[in-house]
Structure formats: C-alpha cells, structure tokens
Amino acid sequence: MTMSLFLTALGLFAAFALLVTIPALLRPSKQSAHLANLLGLVGTLSGSLTGLCALFLTPVASQASFQAPFGLPFGSFTLVLDGLSRLFLFPVFGLGLFCAIQGFLSLRHERPSQHNLGSHWLFYLLLLLGLGLVLSARDIVLFLVAWEIMSLAPFFLIDFNDGDSRVRDASWVYLVAAHLGAVALLAFFVLFWQLTGATAWQAVQKLTLSESSRSLLFLLALLGFGAKAGLAPMHIWLPEAHPAAPSHVSALLSGAMINAGLYGIIRTVSLLTCNGRPPEWWGWLILAAGLCTALMGILKALAQSNVKRLLAYSSVENMGIMTMGLGCALIGQSLGNGWMAIAGLCACLMHMLNHACFKGLLFLAAGEVLHATGTVNMAQLGGLAKKMPFLAACFAVGCAAIACLPPFNGFAGELVLALALLDGSSLAATEHQLLLLLSFAALCAISGLALALYAKAYGLVFLGQPRSGFAENVPQKSWQHFWPISVLALGCLLMGLLAAFVFSLTCESVSSLWPLQTLTGYAKAKASLLDSLTKAGAIFVFLLAATLAVYGLRKRVLHKRGIRFMPTWACGYQGGNARIQYTDASFSEPLARILGPLMGQNVSQSQDKAIFPQSGQLLVKAPDRLRRKVYGPLFSGIETLCNALKIFQHGKIHLYILYILVTVVGLLIWGLV
Amino acid sequence: MLLNICLYLLVLSNFLLLGTSRVAQMTKYTALQGFLLAALLFDFGHSVLTVAVLVIKGLVLPGLLWHTLAKMPKDSLICPHRLVALDVIAGMAGLAFAIWLDARLGSDLTFNLFPKLFLPLGLTTLFCGLILIIGRVKAITQVIGYLAAENGIFLLGMPLMTQGTTWFELALLLDVFVAVFVMGIAINRISDSFASMDVDRFRSLRD
C-alpha cells in the first residue's frame, strides 16, 4: 500500500514532467506559459500529496520494498522505504508542495517571451523525482543515476534568469561543485563495488571489511556527500546559487536537496557501523567538520547584505549543526554512551526537519520581498512591516525559529543537541569531556550569533523607515498571496509545541537502522528526553495561552479609548530620516571588530581630507575568500596545465600521423623485445 | 629471379621517391611501383590481378596525378631540399627497423608465409609512404605517400592471396582508386580556393 502510493507519486512526477514538455516546446505565448504553469502545479500537487499520504498512512518505522527489472547489465531497480528514507522524504514532498504553490503564484506574471516556464517546471518535477529516487534507492547504480538527475535539474532551475551573467556564473559554479562531489561519490561506489562484489547497499552488511577499507569508504562518502550538503570548505556553491535562483527553487534546494547529502552520510555510516562500533575518530572528524561549517557559515552570514545570500550562508550553518549532531551520535556509539548516541542522532534529524520548515519559510518570504520591492539588498529595504504586516509576521516567526527562540521548533532541535553535548561530562577521559564541552560552548556561540543575524535581517528589512524608493512604493498585498508561507509558519510553531512527538518520530525512524538499543543508558535517555520535551511543550502551550490572554485583555481594555499613532521618538529629536538608521554594515561592525578576519570583511573608507569635509564613502564587503583565493587559483592552474598540452594539438595533420606512426612502432618494439 | 629483381627495384623506387624534390618525378616513380607490383603478381600467377594492378596502379592513378599536376602552378611542385635528406635518412631507419622486425618475428612466420625479403620490403614501403605523408608539406605529395603506403600493404597481402580472394583484392583496388580520385578533386579545389598548397597552412582552417 505504502509502496504503491509512493510509486504513484514518483510516476505522477515523471508523467507530468513529460506532459509539461508540450508547452515547453510550443511557441512562447501567454496561453502556453499559463498551461505550463498549471500543469507543473497540478503535477507537483498530485505527486506530493500522494507521496505525503504514503508517508503518513503507515508507521514511520515500517518497511516497504519494491523491485523491478532494470534493463542494465548490472544493478537492479530496488526501492526500499524505511524509517530514514521516510523522514527525509517529508521535506521533499512537503516543501515541494508549498514551494510549487508559491512558485505558481509568482510565476504567473512572468513574460512568456523571457522565460520558458515549461522547461522550468520540467526540471522542478525532475528534481522532485530525482530526490524521491535518491532517498529510496537501495542499489548503487540506480542511486547514482538518481543522484545525477537530482544534481543536474537544479542547474537549469538556478539558471532561470539566464539573461544575467551573474546568474549564469552561479549556475556553473553549482554544476562544477556538484560534479566534483560526484567524482568522490563515483570513487566511493567503485570501491564499494570492488569490496562487496555486489551493487546492493545491503551487501556491505554481510561482509567484515578491514578497518582501513571501511575508513576509506567513510572518507570518500564524507567528501562526496559533504559537497552536496555544503560542508566547509565545499560550501562555496550555496552562497552563489541561492541568491541567483528563483526563491521557491532556493527554498526547495535549501530545505530538501542539501539534505540528500546528509542522508548519504547517515546511510553510509549506518551501513558501515552495523557490524561493529565505528572508530572513534570518525565521530570527532564529523563533529569538527560540523563545528567549523557552522561557525564559518554564521560568521559569513553576519557579513552579508543580500538577504538571500545571508540565508544561503545560514543554510551552511544549519547543515553544520546537523552534522555536529551526527558526530556526537557517532562518538556516543563508539564510546558506548547511549545518551549521546540517541540524543545526537535525533537532534540531527529533528534539526533537519525543522530547518526544512523554517528555511523554506524564510526563502519564500524573501522571495515575496523581492517580488514586491525588486531587491533583496538590505541597504535599500526597511519599513516593510507597515506595508506587508502579514508577511512580516510570518518572517518574524521564521527568524525566531531559526534563532532557536522558544516556543518554535528550532529551539527543540538545538536543545536536544545541547543536551547530547553536555553529557560529554559523563565520559571517562578528560580530553573527551573537555572537547565536548568546548563544542557545547561553540554551539551556544553559534546560537547567539544566529540571534544577532536574524535580528539584523528582520530589523533591516521590515522595521524602521524605507531606505530607498524600492521599499517605499510597495503595493499592498492581502494574506491570500502569502498563505503557503503562513502554513509553514504554523508548522514552525506546531513542531515546536509538539517537539516530543517529532522526537519520538525520529527516534523510531532510526531504531531499525542503527543498533543503538544495545548501548548503556539508551532506554533511560529516550524516556528522559521525551519527558523533558513533553514538559517543555506543556510550558510553551501555557505561556502562549497566557500571552494570548493578556493580548486579548489589552485589546478589550483599549477598545473604547482612542489610540493615536505617532512617529518613533516623537517626543525627542525631530530631524530623523531614513539615512540615520542602522545599516547592515553598522549592525555587524561591533562583531567585525573582533571577528573581522574570520568573517572576511573588507572595509574601504574614503574621507574628504579638507577642513570642511564634503562627502565620504564607506564600503563594507564580504566576498567568499575561499572561492577567490583557493578555488579560483586552483582551477586557473589546472587550466594553464591543460593549455600547456596544446603544444601537442597544433593542427598539423601530418604530425598527427607521425604520432600514430611513433605509437605503432613503439608498440611493435615493446611487444617484440 | 624475377621476384628478386622486382624486390630490389622496389627498394630503389622507395628511396628514389624519398630522394626527389620534384613532384612530377615522384609521379613517375609511383607509376614504376605500379609496374613492379604487376610484375610481382605475374610471378605469383594471378593473371586477373596483374592486369588490374597494371591498369590502375601503373596507368590510371599516375595519370590522374599527372592530370592534377598539369593544372597546378609550376612553382608549387618543388619541395624544400633540407627535408629530402631527412626523409631519406628516415627511410633508411625504416628499412633497418623492418629488417630487425623480420628477424624478431622469427623464422616460422617468415618462412611459411612470406618468401625471403618479402616482409621487410613490404614494411619498408609502408614506412616510406608514411614518411612521405609526414615529411612533405605539399598536399599532392600526401596523396603519393598514401599510394606508396598502400603499395606496402598490398605487398604484405600478396603472399596471402589465393584464387578466392581475387575479388577482395579487386575491391580494395577500387577503394584506393576512389580515394585517390577524391583526393585529386579535393586538391584541385584547394588550389583553386587558396593561395598555398602547403598542408602546414591548413591548420588555419581549424576552429
């Protein structure tokens, strides 16, 4: 039942992807664009809803499998839905649904001569199909095919506004990064095939691999999947691709696609460790990678002035937090600490679900801001809360959730992670205790910086006075335009209040996958965490109810009194204008004084040196140094090397024949000597 | 007796081909090679093929080349001298290599399949053809080189021929004929369109 519904969902994606090619091939007109938009929406809606039914109808830990003839001489078409797959499929179908609706609403007004909506929806549907296959494939050949579909589709989605050279550049950066990761994955799968002699994922369980080959497989998987997940230093495609892509695509990429990288790491590690405990250094390596990624992501995000770029770096940070959870779980498993293992793993998965929800919300809201004002540069925005109060409220919910403020969902995930790291004090070795407590401190710092970051994002975009004409002349929009966003905002709140349910969901989903039950303290940890989260949820419900009650009382009391609205600081200085407000640079300036080198901020200042200065200029930029200083020289070096080979490719045909002759003679001599 | 004389003459013709810088002279040597091949075939007793080779390799192909030459500007028919000496040295290296190869390949293959000196000679002719293609820069010398290389291959195939393979060999001859025909037309076209016939300059056509 589950499997047939899931297959129907995938089939619907594929069928509508085929259907939508018809308007894509037609001559661009208003009708064909409308048809493509409609077909894309219907395809995504029907597929995603069927998929969600498949996920919700049966318990999360149950397993369903499907096998079909593949038609290739190797590999098989094997799909299995188990707890982990289901958990990662929730964001795919859920976010796919809302992003499609929001995309439909915003793409309605695109000019058919400028964009081919048919091809856009084709690749959107292919991305969903690829994601569905990646998360359920249990054969390495099928997995690689699906991975390639999933990796190629975003290239065309990011390239939507292909008239802009920066967008084209971003999509190429994405493509190169995706395929550099794919190279590591290919090596991983070839090694896998060589070691196990089979193409089924499960084949590795039956073997006892040597320590070194297990570690090599682990490292290759970490590289290959880490590039997709955006682990530092392989994250450089995220801050390029997300600002360039249409917002509903950014939301889907950030909320669902990069999770596929995390899924790959978890799946590989779970398979490699099912026959015994993982080496301890795996956990420390993943924890360190996650920590560095999270710190780097949040610091770079703080230095950004483009909202979507800021959100992209924030995705890097959140992926780092999830990876920290996984690292903590592995350390717990290798040291036999049940609490750390279960709490770390659940924190990782809970944060994955939460992140999909609030990052989807934030990207879609940023897209609406872009749609209304024409820019996402914070230096030109401001005061939008008065024009679009509903959108502002939704964005505020997203910001509060991602900054880990209770009672929203981000808080629950990071609370569990913090509890996992705090239990490091129960470990035997002092250096382990110290390292985990330091990680805890770093997590606190990251959360604090996230709060600062989103205070900046929300404050600069929605509060204060409009900083430019862009933000001033905003058309009024009713809540009907934003309802998919509001559903996601509601999701953030509900997942926060029902954190205990989400926790037990993640706990059940991994129970079949990972032999954690044998660890000491597992049952106690599970019960105790569940208890804490239930109590926290109850307190939040009470506080929320109390707040609503006070708000209602206030409204009732003020009902008959006249309320006057005055400008801010009306009682004080009256000469205020938009230019004296905080800018994005001034917001991050105090932090940049301490962490400037880490944030990579460039400050250039030019002042009039005259006695009565006329004008001055201050420029604050935060380009990605990794791209300019590491990847740029690396790739241009490779290019120079390849160009050097052109001395052999000179276009003189008779010399080409000489090469052939020399080769043949050489081979003859080699064969006969 | 006839066999050995023909083989010696063939080696000579190869080095004459490599040693001359005049394209008109080279065309005559090509015709000579055609006659020698026909004589060899006659010695082996393939009467049909003898006539065919005599007509195609001895008369028609050199005639075609001659026809092409007549249409081309006279100053474009002389190769640079320094290359000629280099080509002859390379041809000698080819001959030495072919003899070494013959010795290495062992007696079984050589004695059962090829008459004495047949294998090194075929290989030398093949190498000389390739050296002509590589070393000379005129388009028409490339065609001559191609013909010489084909003669080498033909020589290597000759001892393997039985009565049944006559049609096969005839088909090959037709192939060569068509190839040279097409090349002749191409060269005519090139000389019409471009000022130079040097293959070196063809690279300006690449993208």
pLDDT digits (tens, 9 = 90+) for A495-546: 999 999 999 999 988 887 777 777 878 888 899 999 999 999 999 999 999 9
* Per-residue model confidence (pLDDT) at position B78: 72
Give the rounded percent of residues in chain B with a pLDDT score beyond 70. 80
A304, pLDDT greater than 60: yes
In Å, how far is A644's CA from the nearest CA of chain B?
18
In the A/B pair of chains, how many CB contacts fall below 8 A?
A: 32
Task: Please tell me if residue A668 touches chain B, with a CB cutoff of 8 Å.
Answer: yes
Residues of the domain holding A640: 625-672
Tell me the longest C-alpha to C-alpha distance in chain B: 55
| Shared-domain flag, residues A550 and A630 | no
**Does residue A662 lie in a domain region?**
yes
| Shared-domain flag, residues A326 and A440 | yes
A154, pLDDT greater than 90: yes
B207, pLDDT greater than 60: no
| Shared-domain flag, residues A507 and A641 | no
| Shared-domain flag, residues A633 and A497 | no
Across residues A474-503, what is the average pLDDT?
Answer: 89
Looking at the structure of chain A, the number of domains it has is 2
Which helix (H) or strand (E) element contains residue A171? helix A165-196
**Does residue A84 lie in a domain region?**
no
**Does residue A352 lie in a domain region?**
yes
In Å, how far is A655's CA from the nearest CA of chain B?
6
Tell me the longest C-alpha to C-alpha distance in chain A: 108
First to last CA, chain B: 55
Task: Please tell me if residue A109 touches chain B, with a CB cutoff of 8 Å.
Answer: no
Exposure letters A443-452 (e unless 16+ CB within 10 A, then b): beebbebbbb
**Does residue A434 lie in a domain region?**
yes
Comparing C-alpha atoms, which of A148, A168, A308 is closest to residue A228? A148
Whose tokens are 């209304």? That residue is A372
* Per-residue model confidence (pLDDT) at position A197: 83
Given A542, A566, A591, the domain boundary residue is A591
- What pTM value is reported for the model? 0.80
Please tell me which of the candidates A650, A661, A668 has its beta carbon nearest to residue B101.
A668
In Å, how far is A661's CA from the nearest CA of chain B?
8
Comparing C-alpha atoms, which of A171, A85, A90 is closest to residue A133? A85
The backbone region for A650, taken as left when phi is positive above 0, alpha when psi lies in -120 to 50, beta otherwise, is alpha
Chain-centre distance for alpha carbon B110 = 23
| Shared-domain flag, residues A436 and A552 | yes
| Shared-domain flag, residues A336 and A452 | yes
Across residues A313-333, what is the average pLDDT?
Answer: 94
pLDDT per residue over B94-149, tens digit each? 999 998 888 887 665 656 677 778 888 888 999 999 888 888 877 778 888 888 88
User: Chain B residues with CB inside 8 Å of A654's CB?
Assistant: 133-137, 142, 199
Given A575, A591, A607, the domain boundary residue is A591
Instruction: Say if the Cβ atoms of A657 and B134 lie within 8 Å.
Output: yes
| Shared-domain flag, residues A632 and A539 | no
In Å, how far is B42's CA from the nearest CA of chain A?
32
* Per-residue model confidence (pLDDT) at position B111: 61
| Shared-domain flag, residues A587 and A657 | no
- What is the rounded distance in angstroms from the CA atom of residue A369 to the CA atom of residue A371? 5
**Does residue A389 lie in a domain region?**
yes
* Token pair belonging to A88: 């990662």
What ipTM is given for this predicted complex?
0.80
Band of residue A671 on the pLDDT scale cut at 50, 70, 90:
confident
Mean pLDDT of chain A: 89
A594, pLDDT greater than 70: yes
**Does residue A85 lie in a domain region?**
no
Comparing C-alpha atoms, which of A127, A401, A376, A135 is closest to residue A249? A127
Q: What is the DSSP letter of A621?
A: E
Q: What is the DSSP letter of A60?
A: T
- What is the rounded distance in angstroms from the CA atom of residue A662 to the CA atom of residue A15? 54
**Does residue A453 lie in a domain region?**
yes
* Per-residue model confidence (pLDDT) at position A76: 87
Least trusted range by pLDDT, from A90-104, A489-503, A585-599, B143-157: A585-599
| Shared-domain flag, residues A646 and A587 | no
| Shared-domain flag, residues A285 and A406 | yes
Which helix (H) or strand (E) element contains residue A602? strand A602-607
Task: Please tell me if residue A667 touches chain B, with a CB cutoff of 8 Å.
Answer: no
Report the residue of A646, A648, A652, A669 to disrupt the B interface, i.e. the one with the largest count of B CBs within 10 Å. Answer: A652
B205, pLDDT greater than 60: no
CA distances from B175 to A302, B140, B148 (A): 73, 18, 15
The packing angle between helices A307-335 and A409-422, to 10°, is 40
| Shared-domain flag, residues A629 and A530 | no
**Does residue A134 lie in a domain region?**
no
Q: CB under 8 Å to A505, separation ≥6 — which residues?
A: A60, A87
Nearest CA in chain A to B102: A672
| Shared-domain flag, residues A449 and A372 | yes
Instruction: Say if the Cβ atoms of A661 and B134 lie within 8 Å.
Output: yes
Q: A332-335: long-range contacts (C-beta < 8 A, 24 or more apart)?
A: A332/A283, A332/A420, A332/A519, A333/A273, A333/A277, A333/A278, A333/A283, A333/A514, A333/A516, A333/A519, A334/A277, A334/A278, A334/A279, A334/A280, A334/A282, A334/A283, A335/A280, A335/A427, A335/A432
Instruction: Say if the Cβ atoms of A668 and B200 lie within 8 Å.
Output: no
Comparing C-alpha atoms, which of A346, A345, A330, A337 is closest to residue A283? A330
Strand A602-607 to A616-621 pairing: antiparallel
pLDDT per residue over A418-465, tens digit each? 999 998 888 888 999 999 999 999 999 999 999 999 999 999 999 988
Which helix (H) or strand (E) element contains residue B189? helix B166-193
| Other Cβ atoms within 10 Å of A255 Cβ, number | 30
A153, pLDDT greater than 70: yes
